[in-house]
């Protein structure tokens, strides 16, 4: 079964308030095997609310409204759902008494408006709210002849969360057939989104019960797999099989299958081989070192390095021969190679990495445009040097350079 979430409140349409409730609800629904297929945010307008409610009720089995259950003029959820579902509202005397008692306990006279919070849709069960005055509502009913579960929940997260967890989830669990979701994320380095998708689509299309989403993120392609089945084992099995087939196709471009980052994987590999690493970075200005050392325990394999930004530092601290810089320029294949080999010698590490490039926006020449990067990785016997032309702004170019350097180290260790 699928669910649709509707967040209500004009504040959620401004840049200052985010709909965080739907993330919480999605996570909880997934534990029941329920997939969220639509989410919308609607301002406090009755006409818009009725329209979005009708669309949701017509296409989705579980519809969750949240927000707009307060006592004020702009709290319109009860009335709008009542209109959309053609279920009249009835003022519940017990709820009303409860509301009066709640105010009396705080020695405040209840404003007239609050009476509306005792209005319940015909056939709905009221959901007590331990944290506030707005009770929620649960409807196990029909819309246009089809069975629906509909929930009305308060907007404040500290009210919504316990209500959903303690009152809605158990009801859903009881009503829904058992269904399990298994997930897996494959991460692919240094391959375009297009190529990755054209190679993997023929495979993932065969698995109808696994939803595959391809995302390009942080200079890597991520394949998110989500399988649904009636047992956890079956769901897991489906996802594992697909993951294996995809790995066979994409080969060593796949660097991670359990959510690990590239720097984490490089760390594992270095430890496994009891190898050490040192780096001489120019255009990345320390980003490579920052990423490597963001992993706890990296001191076991990362010895250190030099941010050799200035040519004098390349010569003085990394031992790059001055002639190389003079002949080829600092951004060149031979200098990248000399940086990698020089820093390896100076630090006495297993591997040495050299990074040089033009991050821009200035500094480009006719032969050397912004985004040109050379990266070298050496193990003392063989030095691999790669030349790339990265698109984008300074930040992106530097990120891609660090990504390529990490991936080259990973490949050197395969
Ligand atoms: P309500 O009175 O039910 O409309 O909710 C009002 C309060 O709950 C405001 O502080 C809102 O910013 C907050 N709120 C409402 N909806 C959400 C949401 N979807 N995610 C996070 N906070 C919300
Ligand atoms: Mg509101």
Domain boundaries, given as residue ranges, for the chain:
2-175, 180-256, 262-413
Per-residue pLDDT of the chain (414 residues; tens, 9 = 90+): 899 999 999 999 999 999 999 999 999 999 898 999 999 999 999 999 999 999 999 999 999 999 999 999 899 999 999 999 999 999 999 999 999 999 999 999 999 999 999 999 999 999 999 999 899 999 999 999 999 999 999 999 999 999 999 999 999 999 998 888 899 999 999 888 899 999 999 999 999 999 999 998 888 999 999 999 999 999 999 999 999 999 999 999 999 999 899 999 999 999 999 999 999 999 999 999 999 999 999 999 999 999 999 999 999 999 999 999 999 999 999 999 999 999 999 999 999 999 999 999 998 999 999 999 999 999 999 999 999 999 999 999 999 999 999 999 999 999
How is domain 2-175 classified at the architecture level of CATH? 3-Layer(aba) Sandwich (3.40)
C-alpha of residue 363 to centroid of ligand 2, in Å: 52
Residue ranges lining ligand 1, Cβ < 6 Å: 7, 9, 11-12, 17, 19-22, 66-70, 75, 154-157
Nearest CA to ligand 1 atom 10: 156
C-alpha of residue 194 to centroid of ligand 1, in Å: 39
CATH code, residues 262-413 = 3.90.950.20
C-alpha of residue 130 to centroid of ligand 2, in Å: 19
Which atom number of ligand 1 is nearest to the Cα of residue 69?
3
C-alpha of residue 70 to centroid of ligand 2, in Å: 7
Q: Do the domains 2-175 and 180-256 sit in the same CATH topology, yes or no? A: no
Which residues fall within 8 angstroms of residue 269, CB to CB, at 6 or more apart?
A: 275, 409, 410, 413, 414
CATH code, residues 180-256 = 3.30.70.2860
Q: Which two structure tokens, joined as six digits, stand for 218?
A: 């942080």
Side-chain-side CA neighbours of residue 18 (13 Å): 4
Which residues fall within 8 angstroms of residue 359, CB to CB, at 6 or more apart?
A: 283, 370, 394, 397, 398, 401
Handedness of CA 198, 200, 205, 209 (dihedral sign): negative
Q: Of 10, 14, 156, which is best to mutate to test ligand 1, by the most ligand atoms within 8 angstroms of its C-beta?
A: 156
Which atom number of ligand 1 is nearest to the Cα of residue 74?
4
Q: Which two structure tokens, joined as six digits, stand for 396?
A: 């992106």
Name the β-bridge partners of 181. 228
Q: Of 6, 9, 72, which is best to mutate to test ligand 1, by the most ligand atoms within 8 angstroms of its C-beta?
A: 9
User: Relative to the alpha carbon of 5, which ligand is closest?
Assistant: 1
Assessment of whether the complete model's pTM goes beyond 0.85: no
């Amino acid at each position: 079964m699928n669910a649709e979430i509707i967040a209500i409140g004009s504040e959620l349409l401004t840049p200052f308030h985010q709909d965080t409730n739907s993330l919480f609800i999605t996570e909880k629904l997934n534990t029941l095997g329920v997939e969220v297929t639509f989410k919308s945010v609607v301002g406090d307008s009755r006409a818009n609310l009725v329209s979005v409610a009708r669309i949701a009720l017509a296409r989705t089995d579980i519809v969750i409204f949240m927000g707009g259950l307060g006592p004020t003029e702009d709290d319109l959820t009860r009335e709008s759902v009542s209109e959309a579902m053609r279920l009249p509202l009835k003022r519940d005397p017990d709820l009303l008494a409860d509301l009066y008692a709640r105010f009396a306990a705080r020695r405040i006279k209840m404003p007239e408006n609050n009476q509306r919070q005792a209005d319940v849709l015909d056939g709905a069960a009221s959901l007590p709210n331990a944290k506030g005055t707005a009770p929620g509502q649960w409807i196990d009913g029909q819309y246009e002849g089809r069975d629906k579960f509909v929930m009305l929940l308060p907007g404040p997260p500290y009210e919504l969360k316990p209500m959903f967890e303690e009152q809605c989830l158990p009801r859903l669990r009881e009503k829904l057939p058992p269904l399990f979701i298994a997930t897996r994320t494959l991460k692919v380095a240094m391959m375009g989104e297009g190529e990755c998708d054209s190679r993997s689509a023929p495979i993932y299309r065969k698995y109808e019960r696994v939803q595959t989403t391809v995302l390009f993120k942080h200079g890597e392609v991520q394949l998110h797999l989500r399988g649904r089945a009636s047992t956890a084992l079956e769901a897991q099995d489906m996802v594992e099989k697909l993951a294996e087939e995809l790995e066979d196709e994409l080969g060593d471009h796949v660097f991670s299958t359990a959510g690990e980052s590239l720097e984490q994987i490089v760390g594992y590999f270095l430890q496994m081989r009891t190898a050490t690493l040192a780096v001489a970075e120019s255009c990345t200005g320390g980003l490579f070192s920052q990423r490597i050392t963001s992993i706890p325990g990296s001191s076991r394999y990362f010895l250190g390095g030099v941010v050799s930004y200035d040519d004098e530092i390349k010569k003085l601290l990394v031992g790059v021969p001055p002639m190389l810089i003079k002949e080829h320029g600092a951004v060149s294949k031979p200098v990248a190679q000399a940086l990698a080999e020089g820093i390896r010698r100076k630090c006495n590490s297993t591997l040495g990495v050299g990074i040089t490039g033009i991050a821009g926006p200035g500094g480009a020449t006719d032969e050397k445009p912004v985004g040109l990067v050379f990266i070298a990785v050496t193990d003392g016997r063989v030095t691999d040097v790669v030349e790339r032309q990265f698109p984008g702004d300074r930040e992106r170019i530097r990120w891609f350079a660090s990504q390529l350097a990490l991936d080259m180290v990973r490949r050197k260790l395969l």
